[in-house]
């Protein structure tokens, strides 16, 4: 039986966690932990990241601390797998991150210290430094860093934001032309539906969604947060309508469209003021953290 690193030892808690993971992966450790690979942990890593986001949205700091710990465990676990294979260890991961942050903040740590005080200029500089780091020069696309593994809504928003940083965006700050483009895409989708062409409908539906993300971005709203709120609102109202149907002795799956509509409108009325108050004082503005 392996000894568990003591919380009272001189180890930092991060180093203690590193040793716990190493023990779990060592001969005589946990069979499940020993079987894991980068690929097998991929889904769980994504799940933990989403749970961190959920904790942030809830405002529950205890939950956030717990979920960040779970995410940290995954970082350490992946580093441990590479340590065993002679690739890299957690210290090398941290070192690379330290060097990258110093390198990408010359306005704080380098010869440009104190020269930049505008976040837009900082983000432009960040992109330029990233291109130089990758050794691809000015010919590289600013979209090269948009991961294909991102959820598509977030990927669309990220692609638009990166393009806008180099000037590929609607001029000025007015939303009118962006909204006009959204209406244009809606009309094109309607035409595709009328023609009954599935592939064309798919294409136009995608264009409409992309334009909706663009409107949100231009309005300073995080599209993923906005869609999350809309989905939560739908689910809240749906459950209320579902409960009301059952209370009236009706099976939801057998209810008519008219019965659903009546209960939906009733639920909408009950929740409307509550939902309005929920958004007072809440900001949905996009963050400007470089990535």
Q: Residue range 35-45: average pLDDT?
A: 94
Per CATH, which fold does 13-102 belong to? Helix Hairpins (1.10.287)
What pLDDT, on a 0 to 100 scale, did the predictor assign at position 254? 94
Reply yes or no on whether the pLDDT at 30 is more than 50: yes
Reply yes or no on whether the pLDDT at 209 is more than 50: yes
Reply yes or no on whether the pLDDT at 76 is more than 80: yes
Reply yes or no on whether the pLDDT at 286 is more than 70: no
Reply yes or no on whether the pLDDT at 121 is more than 90: no
Structure tokens of 26?
């060592």
Q: Residue range 78-101: average pLDDT?
A: 95
Q: Residue range 170-185: average pLDDT?
A: 94
Residue 56 half-sphere exposure toward CB, CA atoms < 13 A: 9
Helices and strands (H and E) in the chain: how many: 12, 0
Name which residue leads in pLDDT, 287 or 19. 19
What pLDDT, on a 0 to 100 scale, did the predictor assign at position 281? 42
Q: Residue range 169-187: average pLDDT?
A: 94
Average pLDDT, the chain: 87
Reply yes or no on whether the pLDDT at 124 is more than 60: yes
**CATH 1.10.287.1080 location in the chain:** 13-102
Contact assessment for residue 237 and residue 259, using Cβ atoms and an 8 Å cutoff:
no
Triad 46, 51, 57: Cα angle to 5° = 130
Contact assessment for residue 288 and residue 119, using Cβ atoms and an 8 Å cutoff:
yes
């Amino acid at each position: 039986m392996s000894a568990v690193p003591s919380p009272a030892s001189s180890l930092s808690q991060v180093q203690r966690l590193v040793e716990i993971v190493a023990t779990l992966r060592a001969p005589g450790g946990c069979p499940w932990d020993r079987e894991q690979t980068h690929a097998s942990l991929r889904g769980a890593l994504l799940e933990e990241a989403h749970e961190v986001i959920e904790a942030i949205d809830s405002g529950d700091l205890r939950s956030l601390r717990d979920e960040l710990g779970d995410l940290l465990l995954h970082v350490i676990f992946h580093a441990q797998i590479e340590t065993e294979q002679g690739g890299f260890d957690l210290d090398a991961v941290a070192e690379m991150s330290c060097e990258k942050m110093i390198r990408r903040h010359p306005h704080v740590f380098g010869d440009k210290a104190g020269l930049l005080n505008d976040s837009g200029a900082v983000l432009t500089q960040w992109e330029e430094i990233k291109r130089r780091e990758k050794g691809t020069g000015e010919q590289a696309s600013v979209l090269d860093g948009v991961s294909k593994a991102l959820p598509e809504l977030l990927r669309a928003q990220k692609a638009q934001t990166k393009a806008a940083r180099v000037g590929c965006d609607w001029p000025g700050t007015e939303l009118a032309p962006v909204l006009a483009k959204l209406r244009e895409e809606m009309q094109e989708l309607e035409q595709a539906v009328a023609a009954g062409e599935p592939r064309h409908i798919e294409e136009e539906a995608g264009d409409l969604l992309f334009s909706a993300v663009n409107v949100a971005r231009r309005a300073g709203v995080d599209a993923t947060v906005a869609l999350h709120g809309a989905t939560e609102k739908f689910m809240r109202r749906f459950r209320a309508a579902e409960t009301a149907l059952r209370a009236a002795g009706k099976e939801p799956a057998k209810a008519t469209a008219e019965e659903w509509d009546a209960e939906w409108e009733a639920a909408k009325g009950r929740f409307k003021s509550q939902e309005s108050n929920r958004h007072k004082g809440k900001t949905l503005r996009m963050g400007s953290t470089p990535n």
